[in-house]
Structure 1
Amino acid sequence: MSVWDALVGQPEAVAVLSEAVRRPEAMTHAWLITGPPGSGRSVAARAFAAALQDPADVDGTSHETQTALAGTHADVTVLATEKVVISIDEARNLIGLAQRSPSQGRWRVIIVEDADRMVERTSNVLLKAIEEPPPRTVWILCAPSPQDVLVTIRSRCRLVNLRVPPAQDVADLLVEKDGVDPDLAMECALAAQSHIGMARRLAANPNAREYRAKVLAIPATIRGVGDAILAAGTLVDEATEESKVATAERDAAEKTELLRNLGAEEGGTIPPALRAQVRQLEEEQKRRARRALIDVLDRAMVDLLSFYRDVLVVQLDSDQVLMNRAAESAVREMAAGSAPEQSLQRMQSVGVARTRIAAGAAPLLAIEAMTVALRPQN
């Protein structure tokens, strides 16, 4: 066992990061870890932070290593936002923290997950701190690709690029770490397109597999414009419910905690002097709810893309493995009733919907346009 065990299918990245831990001349003050969703960017960042705190701990069992991996080490700070963007105030807090010497460990490590959510103004605030940090401070930024980070930030970081891990490696992880049945593990690894977190969620949560099955059933239900509009409404409604499940309990707990700290009674009248703080929390929760809805819808569209990809694989008689084993009969039926050109057009329509929603379009309108484009063409 080592700190790198959870970083699946990334031997090249492990080699680079572990060398930096072992050899001071290979170390630098700022790193940018990139890779597609589910490739393990945050896992790599946390493993690197843990290894830096105790390079001699080969087995990854020391107190320094374990607390760094668990996110409780005093000198390892992780900024992981659920908002659409990382705020300037959050960036400034990190700058102040970066100036402090490590209190316990060898390094003060600051990890910024989803660094692509920093707008240009926020990135410029961090620039000086990343460019010239104190001697024992290291920044680790995570983003889908180098192009998602401002060029002035990117140029000051050493790049480590992660790849999509093989599905078999992800399945093996589910079997070994989570005790998942091998067949189910492989089905979930393929369905998640090797996204480790999503594969784990699918394997552990039957409701998640059921929701995904509903999404994959949508193409077969669309026969005309009316069906398309109904399918769009159903998809958005179910995504809304799915996102509420993920945020409602946390929202309620946060509001209860805030009211307790303010000395106000839950369910009672909130004094005027305290209403601004409650409104601020509610606005923050609304932004997080929108982010959650966008994430659920985007995942649904990725699943639809995988469905049409499988249809195209069958139409072209390719030897590629199907990603959706449980939906194979629907895939083959769709492949028999359409042409490869239609599959490509449908995939393009899904991609356009993803882009529109990410750019701020009304989800229902974007999804309606997509489902209309998915209907059979005479």
Structure 2
Amino acid sequence: MGWDDLTGQAEAIASVRAAAAGDGMVHSWLITGPPGSGRSLLAYAFAAALIAQPGREHQTEVQVAARTHPDLGVLSTDAVTIRIEDVRALVASSQFSPSVGRYRVMVIEDADRMTERTSNVLLKALEEPPPRTVWILCAPSDADLIPTIRSRVRTVRLRVPGVEEVAELIARRDGVSLPDATRAAREAQSHIGMAHRLATDEEARRRRARTLQLALGIHSVAGAVLAAAELLEVAGADAKAITEERDAEERESALRSLGIEPGGTVPPALRSTLKSLEEDQKRRATRSLRDGLDRILVDLLSLYRDILLLQLQVAVDPVNLAIYSQLEVAARTSTPVQTLATLDAIAEARTRIDGNVAPALALEAMLVNAVRDSTPAP
């Protein structure tokens, strides 16, 4: 489990496996790495290795994979930030001794989504953990956590795997052809989760292709405004595709647990329960939309990066190899200075959206920088 789904991370795997065997063990860990590198996969594989008693490895792996092991505590969020009350609850449960395993392991995914106040609640637990409790935090970078937490954890850094490594994993695991897996891995820029979606979901491929075509077709400010509106619609459709089915399943499950038939009237006394669920789903929708917008912006960064490399005559394979002829046209109809300005505008849009600027305004401001004449630049 876990180890087989990690690719290109031999050094990190060796480090945590040695610790689980008793070599260099500490009680607070931080796993960092770019999106899609496998932070959570490594965290849970490490957790299973820490918990498992000799002879019970397989059973432990199955329970950890299902997040049902009694000695595993998990905190993840579908919202923009991790709630302080959830961290307090996890900290309280970390004080118990292991019930059947060697260690009690507490995993926090997306630890970078904790506010400073929430981080300080966790800090107290990291300073004096029980002797058989291990904390594993996951974040893109150690810089995403407050300095006092960084000073109390041992960091394991994951690298960006190569396109060939990700393609081999996707082809083996998802049963797609190696050429299709290679294209998906290249266009996902080695993000394993995104490569899986592109390799197995035709609609995800269509949305990405439409994003690039919109950017390449902007020749006026009016066109930039219209393209921004459509990109926001594309991101919304992507977010809806991810959350809609899950929302429906959660609501149906909640109604069933309350003894209410589908389509039945919800008694006033039980409405607060469903209202709380709906609020959680709204928070998840907000995060999912932001994630969808960020995926679009990352795709646009790859597009203009390809264009810039062509303009500078750098002999590197483009990310968007499938539209190479269009990249050549775009490179001839702009200058490297213009392309760099567009790349800066995309980076600024990511910062603005993360700072709660209205997405439509951030996208419009960004795409105005992408306006190009249809005639070759001098």
Q: Settle same-fold status: TM greater than 0.5.
A: yes
Q: Which residue of structure 2 aligns with residue 258 of structure 1?
A: 254
Q: Which residue of structure 2 aligns with residue 23 of structure 1?
A: 22
Partner Cα separation in structure 2 for residue 5 and residue 56 of structure 1: 20
Instruction: Please say if residues 3 and 51 of structure 1, whose CA atoms lie closer than 8 Å, have aligned partners that are also in contact.
Output: no
**Which of 44, 47, 52 matches 2:45?**
47
Partner Cα separation in structure 2 for residue 225 and residue 337 of structure 1: 17
Q: Does 1:145 align with 2:141?
A: yes
For residues 88-145 of structure 1, the C-alpha deviation after alignment (integer angstroms, 9 at most, x for no partner) is: 1110111121111112211111110000000011111111112211111100000011
Match of 1:77, SS state, is strand
Q: Which residue of structure 1 aligns with residue 336 of structure 2?
A: 340
Higher mean alpha-carbon deviation, 255-264 vs 223-232, is at: 255-264
Instruction: Please say if residues 42 and 113 of structure 1, whose CA atoms lie closer than 8 Å, have aligned partners that are also in contact.
Output: yes
Q: Which residue of structure 2 aligns with residue 173 of structure 1?
A: 169
Q: Which residue of structure 1 aligns with residue 231 of structure 2?
A: 235
Q: Which residue of structure 2 aligns with residue 4 of structure 1?
A: 3
Q: TM-score, normalised by structure 1?
A: 0.94
Tell me the CA shift for residue 19 of structure 1. 1.6
**Which of 342, 349, 355 matches 2:351?**
355
2:63 partner amino acid? T
Tell me the CA shift for residue 263 of structure 1. 4.1
Residue segments in structure 2 that go unaligned for 5+ positions in a row = none
Identical positions, percent: 51
Correspondence list, 1:1-378, <5 A: 3-24=2-23, 26-54=24-52, 62-264=58-260, 266-376=262-372
For residues 281-301 of structure 1, the C-alpha deviation after alignment (integer angstroms, 9 at most, x for no partner) is: 222211111111110011011
Match of 1:78, SS state, is strand
For residues 40-86 of structure 1, the C-alpha deviation after alignment (integer angstroms, 9 at most, x for no partner) is: 111110111122233867xx962223332443322222222110010
Tell me the CA shift for residue 172 of structure 1. 1.1
Instruction: Please say if residues 53 and 102 of structure 2, whose CA atoms lie closer than 8 Å, have aligned partners that are also in contact.
Output: no
Q: TM-score, normalised by structure 2?
A: 0.94
Higher mean alpha-carbon deviation, 14-23 vs 272-281, is at: 272-281
Partner Cα separation in structure 1 for residue 11 and residue 96 of structure 2: 32
Instruction: Please say if residues 51 and 105 of structure 2, whose CA atoms lie closer than 8 Å, have aligned partners that are also in contact.
Output: no
Describe the shift of the 1:354–1:3 C-alpha distance in structure 2 as closer, same or farther (beyond 3 A).
closer
Describe the shift of the 1:259–1:345 C-alpha distance in structure 2 as closer, same or farther (beyond 3 A).
same
Match of 2:334, SS state, is coil
Instruction: Please say if residues 222 and 374 of structure 1, whose CA atoms lie closer than 8 Å, have aligned partners that are also in contact.
Output: yes
CA RMSD of aligned residues (A): 1.9
For residues 224-268 of structure 1, the C-alpha deviation after alignment (integer angstroms, 9 at most, x for no partner) is: 011111111111112112211211222222223333333445545
Instruction: Please say if residues 208 and 296 of structure 2, whose CA atoms lie closer than 8 Å, have aligned partners that are also in contact.
Output: yes
Higher mean alpha-carbon deviation, 358-367 vs 15-24, is at: 15-24
Match of 2:369, SS state, is helix
Instruction: Please say if residues 49 and 57 of structure 2, whose CA atoms lie closer than 8 Å, have aligned partners that are also in contact.
Output: no
Match of 2:357, SS state, is coil
